[in-house]
Chain A
Amino acid sequence: MELVEHLSMGFGVAFTFTNLLYCLIGCILGTLIGVLPGIGPVATIAMLLPATYALPPVSALIMLAGIYYGAQYGGSTTAILVNLPGESSSVVTVIDGYQMARKGRAGPALAAAGLGSFFAGCVGTLILAAFAPPLTELAFKFGPAEYFSLMILGLIGAVVLASGSLLKAIAMIVLGLLLGLVGTDVNSGVARYSFDIPELTDGIGFVAIAMGVFGYGEIIANLSRPDDEREVFTAKVSGLFPTKEDFKRMLPAVLRGTALGAALGILPGGGALLAAFAAYTIEKKTKLKPGEVPFGKGNIRGVAAPESANNAGAQTSFIPLLTLGIPPNAVMALMVGAMTIHNIPARR
């Protein structure tokens, strides 16, 4: 079979000691930097890109891929432990992950994120290898109308996702849209709400807003409370492994997350972020089993599903890059840059 042939050839190239070592270094560096709040995969890859210049092309690509996945995973660690999403695709992990950590279940939450990511990553790779050519056809068919529908889906998803007042949820979405308007208008080139500050003409970064809303808000609110009311997670991370019960709940969530992530990852622009949000929305819509913790209070499915989805999405987002030569998101654009530096044509 052609697929097995190609895969075994790939493994043959990757499974040399030096390449595995570079992969390990890339993963460790990516995770270390991805753990820092406010530094997402884009910034991480941009910073570590020069480190690969001296390497031969194949090793460089392997190391970059390692950095990419490491950064993707590192984001979920801070999300769970300190309530700060390291990057945009782990924003939803915060909701249930941090609640689990507050209940002293940080270990299982981290394990769920890790195992889910690993499984979804493996499946994503297989999909990438097997279905790249037919999937490209699908991505070709996406026009403005389809993207518009997709965005509407995302916004409706955000309303469904919110708990509490519906009106406030819609108001927050409008606020988000308004903040997104800051910067240069794509159609007319007019810099809106930039107050002649050059940095603002590029718009406000997602991470800056996430840090402000989730990070600073939390820090200031915590400090303003008297000592006895303060909510700081101090319990030790004990027992990394989820219980049997956890596994039983995690498994369907991981499978759903993987399927959704793989499907949405192919779309340019959406990728990991949309996949994570959609996966969480779906989990929230499924019925709670008796005795299960509700969502938003530390449900393990709320960690496993989005984390699986964003990893599967991260994998399949290589498809448009490798088949069409078009980068679906900023990270992939950097990868194209890196490939060009190493004289690897992105498109076959």
Chain B
Amino acid sequence: MKIKSQKDFFSGLMFTVVGVAFAWGATTYTVGSGARMGPGYFPLMLGILMALIGLGIMFSGLTVETTDGEKIGKWAWKQVVFILGANLAFGILLGGLPSIGVPAMGMIIAIYALVIISSLAGHEFKLPSVLILATVLAIGSYVAFIWALKLQIQVWPTFITG
């Protein structure tokens, strides 16, 4: 069977998968009945509803004629990995991950890592300008959050401050 609108088909697929996932997760909680709803009742119903709507959208993607097939774009793997990776790195460096023994490295290092990793997602990568941006951001954040607002954020790694 030929897909007539890729956009509709894949968005429907996404809705179905998310709906099924939520409904499946809901079965681990007490579902109860309509008169005495447990914590799992509402998510189960919503998940099923969402999966059904998703199936409907998929169905329309398979049947409704479109002129150009409404193709979905290419996957932007590089950008997704670098942008999300940069945020992940920022969080881990800022707060550390005690469960696997990663120490917190503080705000300044986290900002440099954030800027450098996320700039790798772009088309061109110029180290000098990236470093300048990171430095400006680090100083700005220090002034705004540490100096002016006096937030309790670790600034430097513990092996520097001791």
Residue B100 interfacial (CB < 8 Å): no
Complex Cα distance, B23 from A174, in Å, reads 12
Chain A 151-172, CB-CB to B under 8 Å as 1, else 0, gives: 0000000000000010110110
Q: CB within 8 Å of A: which of B11-56?
A: 11, 15, 18-19, 22, 25-26, 29-30, 37-40, 42-43, 46-47, 49-50, 53-54, 56
**Most B-side CB within 10 Å, residue of A47, A48, A168:** A168
Q: Which of A4-12, A220-228, A244-252, A327-335 interfaces with chain B? A: A220-228
With the chains together, A223 CA to B125 CA distance in Å? 13
For the complex, is A131 an interface residue (Cβ under 8 Å from B)? no
Docked-complex contact A167 and B39, CB < 8 angstroms: no
- B26, B39, B46, B150: the one contacting A188 at CB < 8 Å is B39
Which bracket fits the contact residues of B?
35 or more
B154 within 8 A of A: no
Cβ-closest chain B residue relative to A191: B39
For residue B73, which residues in chain A have a CB less than 8 angstroms away from its CB?
224
Contacting residues of chain B (65-91) with chain A, CB-CB under 8 angstroms: 73-74, 76, 78-80, 83-84
Q: Are B79 and A185 in contact (CB under 8 A)?
A: no
**When the two chains form their complex, are residues A47 and B149 in contact, meaning their CB atoms are under 8 A apart?**
yes
Please give, as numbers and ranges, the residues of chain A lying within 8 Å of B15 by CB-CB distance: 171, 174-175
Q: A56 at interface (Cβ–Cβ under 8 A)?
A: no
Q: Which residue of A lies closest to B74 (CB)?
A: A224
Known: A175-B15, A188-B38, A223-B122. A167 touches B56 (CB 8 A): yes
A131 to chain B, nearest CB (A): 37
CB of A177 closer than 8 Å to a CB of B: yes
Decide if B53 touches A171 in the complex (CB within 8 Å).
Answer: yes
B57 within 8 A of A: yes
Q: Evaluate contact between B57 and A168: CB separation under 8 angstroms.
A: yes
State A185–B30 Cα separation when bound (angstroms). 12
Asked whether B151 lies within 8 Å of A178 as measured between CB atoms, the reply is no
B33, chain A: closest CB distance, angstroms:
14
Q: Which residues of B contact A192 (CB under 8 A)?
A: 25-26, 29, 39-40, 43
Q: Are A50 and B47 in contact (CB under 8 A)?
A: no
Q: How far is the CA of A305 from the CA of B76 in the complex (A)?
A: 36
With an 8 A cutoff between CB atoms, is A13 at the interface?
A: no
Say yes or no: B22 contacts A220, CB within 8 Å: no
Shortest Cβ distance from residue B7 to the other chain A in the assembled complex, whole angstroms: 10
What are 14 A-B interface contacts by the 8 Å CB criterion?
Answer: A165-B57, A167-B53, A170-B53, A171-B54, A178-B22, A178-B47, A178-B50, A181-B22, A181-B42, A181-B43, A188-B39, A216-B84, A223-B76, A224-B78
Known: A171-B50, A181-B46. 10 other contacts (CB 8 A): A48-B149, A50-B150, A167-B56, A167-B60, A171-B15, A174-B46, A181-B42, A192-B26, A219-B83, A227-B123
